[in-house]
Structure 1
Amino acid sequence: MAAARTAADGDVVRWIDANAVRPARIDAEGPVDDLGALRRIVGGAKVVGLGEPSHGAHEQVTVRHRVIRYLVERMGFRTVAWEESWGSGVAVDRYVVSGEGDAREVVSRMGFQWRGEAMLGLVRWMREFNRGRPAHDRVRFVGADVMELRAIPFDEVTRYVRDVAPGRLAELRRHLDPIAYRGTPEDHFRWYFGQSEEARKGFAEDARAVVALVTSLPEGPSRIGREDAVRHARSILGFYESYVERLEDVAAPVRDRHIARILTEWQGRTGHRVAYGAANVHTTASPRVTWRFPPDPVPKEDKTMAGGHLRAHYGRSYVSIGTVSHAGRILGGWENGPPSVFTVPPPGPALVDHTLGQARHRDYLLDLRAKAPEPVRRWLRGPATMRIIGTAYDVARDADYTMRVPSWSAGFDAVLHLAATTPTRLLPR
């Protein structure tokens, strides 16, 4: 079996060498003509998922920024969506559209894993791209996640109800006050996880009542549009539903159903082509994903994640481009206080990361739908296990940080391979 695998790996590596496209650079600067292969890979897709294998690496943001530049500048994409809370995304969007405020301040209020120089570069580039453009042609930013809350959704839901249905404001308060935002994401987490399991279930019911109330209201005279008010309410619900759910018990995690709904609603509302950046486990188009994040001893098996919902909704108009890092350093461990730098070793031979790392080029883009001989097609059709690291990492358990899809080519249409990464360069506090 080992000899057969070695022979197959040789065929695969030769195929990669023949088809991989080497970018001129993996930062976001300079002309982007080196990424012309994206035109063939992306085609007419409405949404493109741009995955990453871990949070906390500088180059994993800069290379996606470079890809986003190509999609925006050369292919007409006009929304950048991100694995970031909806409310925080609203603040970023208002900055890149209007220029009001300060880019560094906006980025410093994003989720902890994004508060770095690379993200600041992306936000500043979006603002510069928009400068002087008509409103209909500006690039927008969407926080396509629900795992953190911000004040904006609470404030603007309240404003909308006060404006269009003041007689129902007391009803809103009965449900919104018990789940009100506690000042900062960290404060809110501390408050929430200090509550009993029964209380948390009650919070989810209150959040559902808020959604029901807001969706029952007509469009009215308010500076808050009805679609925005409904989306604000649903983002609050997404937080409370996600944290009462046991992932082991469900086939389609509610968090990723919310992510997919945010993206499909936004794309339908604006007509924009959307570039969506998140972890590979969220962006893969596979209908089933299994992953493990130590120290959690229980793997999450055969789940439908956001990318699976997007492929079901859009078909081939959803394209998934994964990213694999061979080795390097990342910044992680925020759950335990200030983050630390971790060294990630080269992947073991059981991972597709290992095979990809045997190619001639260190950094490259590979179309997994390129013409291939039968041994390679078998490899592409077969299951794939790849490394996936969240915000926590223990090098002693590196082999346990994995995600698995039943078919490599059904899970990803293309892959970006990075030879090495450096830690996220945090903005000074």
Structure 2
Amino acid sequence: MLGRLHCFLFLLALGLLPTTAWGQAHLNLALEPATNQHRPLLLWGSYLPPGGRYSLDSTVAHQGRGSLHLHLPPAQGAAARYTTVGTGLLPLDSVRGQLVTVSAWVRTRNWRGRAGLTASATSLTRAGLSPESVSALDSLPANQDWRRLELRFPVKATAFSCYLGLQTQGSGDIWLADVALSVRGRRLPEWPVPATEALLLPPAQVLALNWDFEQPLPALARPDPAAATAALDSASPQHGRRYLRAQRRRGFAEPASAYLGSVQVSPREGGKTLRVAGYWRWTGGTGTGGPAFAARLLRSRLRPSLRWRPDTLARRTPPPPGPAWTRFAFELPIQLTLPGTDAEADTASLGAFSLSVLLPAAGAVDVDNLTFAIDGKPYLPTGPPVPPLPTAAEIAWLRAAAKPLKLNAPAADYQDLAALATLVGPARVVGLGEVTHGSHESFGLTARLARYLLTQKNFDCLALEASPAACAALNGYLRGQPGSPAPLLAALGEGWATAEVLALLRELRAHNQAHPTAPVQLAGVEVRQPAQALTYLSEQLLDADDDFAQSRLRQLRTLLATYPHPAPDDPDLRRQPDQPRDSLLGPVHRLLAELRAGLATRAALGQPRGLQQLEILDHYLRLVEQGATWQRLSFGAAFNYRQACLAENVRYLGQTGSADGGPARVLVWASNGAVAKVLSQEERPMGQWLAATLGAGYVALGTALGQGRFLAGGAGPPTPAPLETAPPGAYEAWLRTGPAAYWLPLGHLALTEASAWLTQAQLLRDIGYAATRNQFMLHSLHREFDAVLFLKDSSPTQALP
């Protein structure tokens, strides 16, 4: 979950393109990262051998901002298998009966074999299906820079499907970019793909029932306002109170449509016919080109929460209506299984028809009161179950179990935190989770809890999910060194430079001045700033005239500057980042080994200051190694590796984080996703590593926010952003029925009908530092945390000038 969220945020930061997405999906032949709401390969598919993978690479481009990266491992004991990556959703209306030219640019690295373009078109004749394909494959050099490929193929006037893609027979890495279609020397524009609105919606909204258009339209399925408008109107409905009114903008040349909804059908209905009926009218229309309908078949395996896959498109053109409500009807064959397969064996598949009305160049089209029938029998589509509201018993249980918290208590008043300290008990490490860095109330509560545990409950060290080198400078401030903490906070990045954190640092500094024999420490555990660790080593831990160490640090700095950040799937890594055969990590490991060996020998001789100083030096060398390796990993692997390193760095502080360099009790201030004891089968957070190592010695406290605003980071200056309203079925839908601020113990939860919602996986707000389209992800509160702290209201943090 968090790993996917980090991937999305990184693509957003790299794209720097308009983030608004409307209506239909695009093929994205240009392979741009921000297309289709940052799902650039939404309409692409693949046929890959074992171990093969493809992804959009935002670090390699021909002339845009990305490319399609295909990695194929060497064949095992046989000739290399054919591989294809492409799309079968070409604009048939524009290519039927035409000689089509496909062009693209290709790049290779460590490549062995052939590669090129492939295209096919399928028609239906009296003799059956007539698939015709054309391929142009060449043996490409192992390390070919961008090279243009071209393929020409005729498309029959009767074609009902068309496909193009990259085809290979080999191993290594190959990139595809800037695909283009041309007819008679004229490049075809990349128009939206008809009836794909449902693919851009969250799964829960795809099957939401609104066939009489009484409910609000899904925002993400509305057409591009530059092309068309679609809104609910109540002037003269055919049925009920509202109807859909859609209109194409005058002078807009591209096709435009309005989304009507998606109707689910079962594979058991395969071979039958779905009849769609309703009412429509066309006001102000002129000319012969009237409105029509498009129906895209969608498929999904196992359950509708999985992503839908687009399939065949049907266009239906009933007689055009006039200015009065007119009944229309059209039929769609239900074909959810491939010819020759057993329909009963495929009942795990789900199907749905995504319905849209195609808008003419002039006039407004109104649609209302859609109904359905299968083989003449009325059919009532069913949407996803709607989560119920909290019951009176559940609300009463929550209010009895909630432990109220004070948000504006006097500095020395910790009475409301005493029970929470009892929950923490003798734990060696406590994770203080948060939804976002941008909430004033959340920062204030976390700072108050940290101050209480550090100054009243014998905790020694506050660890931040931030650069260890930058935190070391702040620790000097806590220990009484002169200077302003504001610029030191700014060096932490990602929202730490706030008035709330500054107030905590000043309070901890005052505490240390009053307790010089037992001062609290501040440290960082982040792995993503290896360059800062190098600088700290060079300027703070080693002498400037130490040629042995400084020369190797300079070489390390040069190597890190050449690393992609973070790299896409890289064949050179071979899924073994610890191996010297990685051409980038190998030199890093060699230099680090030389430094460790040389420094250990000098420490044994009493230089520079013995074994304790050697331990600190070795830790910073390890931080460099962690950061370099993290930069070499793909997105998914990088998430898990970073979390393991965070836990390793926390354990290091547990052994050395006290003021005298000995064992310490540590508070870790980090995101909910990092402190959680479990996330998913694919993702292992820092808290899971700590819980496996420390057992009951690790306590995880999560945070949830109800409503309000937060300060969101991004490409520009931080700006206030709204907290999305918690949908029904989210944990916050229950939590907001309690007090304004409280904490809830989760560790030994008695399962009753009133508390069962806490034992089930539900949506939970999950933001991070930057704003995101979807603020809720699936979590399991009672498995992830020992307690959750809930704040009903949130306002933006106060960023330092």
Say whether 1:258 aligns with 2:640.
no
Q: Which residue of 1 aligns with 2:319?
A: none
C-alpha contact (below 8 Å) 2:564/2:631 kept by paired residues: no
* Cα pair 1:49 1:320 within 8 Å, conserved: yes
Aligned residue number for residue 401 of structure 1: 775
Name the aligned partner's letter for residue 178 of structure 1: L
Match of 1:297? none
Match of 1:267 in 2: 654
- Show the counterpart of 1:413: 786
Task: Give the aligned partner of residue 183 of structure 1.
Answer: none
2:770 matched to which residue of 1? 392
Partners of 1:19 and 1:196 in 2: CA distance = 47
1:179–1:206 Cα contact (<8 Å) kept: no
* Pair 1:376–1:239, CA change in 2 (3 A): farther
TM-superposed CA distance for 1:98, in Å, is 3.0
Who is 2:456 aligned against? 74
CA distance in 2, matches of 1:76, 1:50: 16
TM-aligned CA deviation for residue 49 of structure 1: 0.5
In structure 2, the residue matched to 1:280 is 672
TM-score, normalization by structure 1: 0.82
Letter in 2 for 1:148: Q
The offset of 1:56, in angstroms, is 1.3
Map of 1:269-308 to 2, 5 A cutoff? 269=656, 270-286=662-678, 288-289=679-680, 302-308=682-688
How far does residue 97 in structure 1 lie from its aligned partner after superposition? 1.7
**Residue of 415, 419, 423 corresponding to 1:37:** 419
Q: Is 2:730 the partner of 1:351? A: yes
Distance (Å, rounded) in 2 between the aligned partners of 1:32 and 1:150: 40
Q: State the alpha-carbon separation in 1 of the partners of residues 523 and 540 from structure 2.
A: 21
Deviation at 1:390, TM superposition (A): 2.1
Between the aligned partners of 1:403 and 1:167, the Cα distance in structure 2 is 50
Contact 1:154 1:232 in 2 (8 A): no
85 and 10 in structure 1: CA distance in 2 versus 1, 3 angstrom threshold: farther
Greater helix share, structure number: 1
Contact 1:203 1:240 in 2 (8 A): no
Instruction: Summarize the alignment of residues 190-339 of structure 1 with structure 2, pairs less than 5 Å apart.
Output: 193=565, 203-216=584-597, 217-218=599-600, 219=603, 220-222=606-608, 225-249=613-637, 253-269=640-656, 270-286=662-678, 288-289=679-680, 302-334=682-714, 336-339=715-718
Task: Provide the rounded CA distance (Å) in 1 between the counterparts of 2:689 and 2:404.
Answer: 31
Distance in 2 (alpha carbons) for counterparts of 1:369 and 1:151: 39
Secondary structure of 1:39 counterpart: helix
Partner deviation per Cα, 1:278-315 (whole Å, 9 max, x = no partner) = 110001112x33xxxxxxxxxxx630011111111111
Distance 1:28 1:324 in 2: 24
Q: CA deviation at 1:194?
A: 11
Q: What is the CA deviation profile of residues 252-277 of structure 1, one whole-angstrom value per residue up to 9, with x for unaligned ones?
A: 71111111011001102232111111
Distance 1:49 1:323 in 2: 11
1:174 matched to 2:552: no
**Distance in structure 1 (CA, Å) of the matches to 2:745 and 2:568:** 49
Contact 2:677 2:784 in 1 (8 A): yes
Tell me the secondary structure at the aligned position of residue 90 of structure 1.
helix
Structure 1 CA distance for aligned equivalents of residues 387 and 771 of structure 2: 33
**CA distance in 1: counterparts of 2:567 and 2:783, whole angstroms:** 41
For residue 528 of structure 2, the aligned residue among 147, 165, 179 is 147
Work out whether residues 26 and 66 of structure 1, in 8 Å CA contact, stay in contact via their aligned partners in 2: no
**CA shift in 2, pair 1:278/1:167, >3 Å:** closer
Offset of residue 131 of structure 1: 0.5
Query: Against the structure 1 CA distance between its residues 234 and 194, is the aligned structure 2 distance closer, same or farther, given a 3 Å change threshold?
Result: closer
Q: Among all aligned residue pairs of Structure 1 and Structure 2, give the percentage whose two residues are the same amino acid.
A: 24
Residue of structure 2 in register with 1:62 after alignment: 444
Structure-2 separation of matches of 1:207 and 1:57: 39
**Superposed counterparts of 1:12-27, under 5 Å:** 12-25=394-407
Provide the secondary structure at the position in 2 that maps to 1:310.
Answer: helix
Question: CA deviation digits over 1:297-347, x for unaligned, max 9?
Answer: xxxx6300111111111111110110000111111132x212221111321
Q: Confirm or deny that 1:366 pairs with 2:744.
A: yes
Among 501, 511, 523, which residue is 1:129 paired with? 511
Listed one character per residue, the Cα deviations across residues 20-64 of structure 1 (whole Å, up to 9, x for unaligned) are 111222578441122111122101111111111122112221100
Cα offset, 1:209, TM superposition: 3.5
Q: Distance in 1 between matches of 2:724 and 2:621?
A: 43
- Show the counterpart of 1:298: none
Q: How far apart in 2 are the matches of 1:272 and 1:248? A: 32
Structure 1 unmatched runs, 5+: 181-187, 290-300
CA contact (8 A) 2:388 2:728 kept: no
Q: Please tell me whether residue 423 in structure 1 is matched to residue 796 in structure 2.
A: yes
- 1:340 counterpart (715, 719, 741): 719
Partners of 2:747 and 2:785 within 8 A in 1: no
Cα deviation digits, residues 143-182 of structure 1 (max 9, x gap): 11122356454342577566998556545543344336xx
The 1:26–1:308 alpha-carbon spacing in structure 2 relative to 1, beyond 3 Å, is farther
- The 1:16/1:89 distance shift into structure 2, 3 A limit, reads same
Please name the residue that 1:185 is paired with: none
Q: Distance in 2 between matches of 1:194 and 1:63?
A: 34
Instruction: Report how many aligned residue pairs link the two structures.
Output: 397
Q: CA deviation at 1:203?
A: 5.0
Corresponding residue number in structure 2 for 1:293 = none
Moved more, 162-171 or 116-125: 162-171
Map 1:102-121; keep pairs closer than 5 Å: 102-121=484-503
Cα deviation for residue 118 of structure 1 reads 0.7
Matching residue's letter, 1:52: E
User: Shift of the alpha carbon at 1:130?
Assistant: 0.5
Q: CA deviation at 1:391?
A: 2.4
C-alpha distance 11-116 of structure 1, shift in aligned 2 (>3 A): same
Quick one: structure 1 residues 374 and 164, their matched pair in 2 at CA, closer, same or farther if it must change by over 3 Å? Answer: farther
**Is 1:382 equivalent to 2:760 in the alignment?**
yes
**Larger RCO (CA within 8 A; separation ≥ 6):** 1
Give the superposition deviation at 1:113.
Answer: 0.8
Q: Given the superposition, is the C-alpha separation of residues 149 and 427 from structure 1 closer, same or farther in structure 2, using an over 3 Å criterion?
A: farther
> How many Å separate the matches in 2 of 1:193 and 1:3?
42
Contact kept? 2:530, 2:626, Cα under 8 Å: no
Q: How far is the alpha carbon of 1:74 from its aligned partner? A: 2.4
CA spacing shift, 1:230–1:20, aligned 2, 3 Å: same
Q: Measure, in 2, the Cα distance between the counterparts of 1:333 and 1:3.
A: 33
Higher Cα radius of gyration: 2
Alignment check: 8 A CA contact 1:20 1:366 kept = yes
TM-superposed deviation, 1:232: 1.4
| TM-superposed deviation, 1:386 | 1.0
Task: Give 2:607's aligned amino acid.
Answer: P
TM-score (normalised: structure 2): 0.46
